[in-house]
Structure 1
């Protein structure tokens, strides 16, 4: 759909113009939305309108959202609730990238209290795209024994014992490693420790390890409880990574020093441009009357995206995959392919619908493992 007048969403506010937020705003512009970008610091020279905004100023935040049909929060997880509450107060659709469980619980509460507005959190990679892939695979099965979901955002050329680079929020990564994880075991929801149940994974000849981390499933455990025997989300890393993190958090006793650990890790392993995002989803069960396992495996590399001003810019894999997933979901709500009010789960989105959007078609074209 190209005519913006047929959409329920025409003007979108993007709050937080960092590594991902700037690209979210740019891709929304490419998809025909009028975009207003907001950041704590001046961001002149971008191809959409920008303004400074302090999200802790509730009155200013609400005033900014009164001028848009929807808002996408690209802020750190601990600032999203403020934006969600402001969206509920003024009646605009809400989207975010959070993996934080308490944030999503508050968004669910707001969705139940706010008629006529869609609340769609967890629109990134995990939760987000990986859940869309897993749920879409599961739809083809008569009976489902297990859904295994894994994502890893890694340097292509790792060094050192950690084999890692902090291209994503250090605060978010530390939370994923330390917060307990919701899983399904024997069809029932359970909370289990993070960084456990390690397993070996090989993708395109590259050996990786995977371990449980928190937040990546979003609402899937609730959705599939009683229907699936085993469901979990694991983060992919290079071999040995989780042993080093156990040493850091447990032997050095730093579990209660999250902010300090985050600063140390970013300084030790700063971002890189040559990254890769691995996505691995597998469903086992009965399909067409026979036992079967179906895999969806991708390895996404940095891509070049026109900036709308005659230039082409290279974007890290973690940035473009996250931004494209989020913008695709905004497109689907705007075009009526998803509900226009209430809480929208990522697992209610089909991969085919996501691929049909302007932003989401990149996932259909890129990343296949030879």
Structure 2
């Protein structure tokens, strides 16, 4: 079958971007990667690029069928706008709501020539795909509860955490208000609230609301679902300490400093685990029950890919994004316009080379 995507540009070779490029290359795409510094140790072409240089960025994307932006959220918009101007399919990993809203505007401005698929990572991304897959198994939906936790397997200290992901992104998730559905209507509520206890495979965790993890799901399910929210999972006691850190120490309004302090205090670790917990409650005629609950729970460990150790947070995020690119390339998703993560079939995603990892691994 002829693919609609062959030439892919990957912009940003950080904790996830390098693996995105590797997975796409291994999946048969011709990949050229761009970063602030050039690399000669990679099995695909890599070139130096200052993404803030609009002309250089457009030159880099010229001739591409698609671009995957693996940059910090505040740099994504330049890539999205360049892709829009050139008619190049656009994918990113952002959890930032204003960034996604701008991508939505680009998708709706004039006749779309390309795909706009932001939020293709883990949360938002895979967790929404799984949640919507569960929801389709119900005739009436009462609640959709989505949770993800990226944690050290062997936590140390009171926080029980390590910054294997962007500190900037984590701080925003902890401080920005969260969109939820309550009584079927969209509301904004404070982050790090509505805390609850979760147990996965005998490991006790706590979960609190954090921002950005739902992507566009509240808009999609408004009026159809009574309650919908996304929570981040941490080891017990974490959120109380983070509220002290931001509020008692006055760092809520000093986000950059907060991120610097946290990364220095809790640097990345290689031995991590990603917990994924999706649950839907409602009524399904096939069960004969008045109320019914279905859950999908996984604990993903680090993985060796092409002889190299990759953290769980890196490969789960990268594989989800690469699988979505595969689906568009193979014509199993729309070829133009905005793609919501909740409109992606989990069954189709599992059938891709990279999505198959999620079917084979992580069972608890």
TM-score with structure 2 length normalisation? 0.98
Is 1:22 matched with 2:18? yes
Report Cα offsets for 1:113-171 as digits up to 9, x if no partner.
Answer: 25220000000000000000000000010100000000000000001110000000000
- The one of 95, 99, 102 aligned to 1:106: 102
- 1 CA distance for matches of 2:226 and 2:158? 35
Which residue in the other structure is 1:249 paired with? 246
RMSD, aligned CA: 0.6
Deviation, structure 1 residue 67? 2.2
SS at match of 1:43: coil
Is 1:281 matched with 2:310? no
- The one of 355, 358, 363 aligned to 1:363: 358
SS at match of 1:214: coil
TM-score with structure 1 length normalisation? 0.97
Displaced runs of 4+ in structure 1, greater than 3 A?
none
- The one of 31, 34, 38 aligned to 1:38: 34
Which residue in the other structure is 1:82 paired with? 78
Which residue in the other structure is 2:324 paired with? 329
Deviation, structure 1 residue 280? 0.1
Is 1:351 matched with 2:346? yes
Which residue in the other structure is 1:142 paired with? 139
Which residue in the other structure is 2:192 paired with? 195
Q: How does 1:201-212 map to 2 (within 5 A)?
A: 201-212=198-209
- 2 CA distance for matches of 1:184 and 1:171? 26
Which residue in the other structure is 1:341 paired with? 336
- The one of 2, 9, 12 aligned to 2:8: 12
Deviation, structure 1 residue 42? 1.5
SS at match of 1:47: coil
- 2 CA distance for matches of 1:130 and 1:137? 11
Which residue in the other structure is 1:309 paired with? none
Report Cα offsets for 1:226-276 as digits up to 9, x if no partner.
Answer: 000000000000000000000000111111100000010000000000000
Deviation, structure 1 residue 326? 0.1
Unaligned runs of 5+ in 2: none
- The one of 36, 40, 60 aligned to 2:56: 60
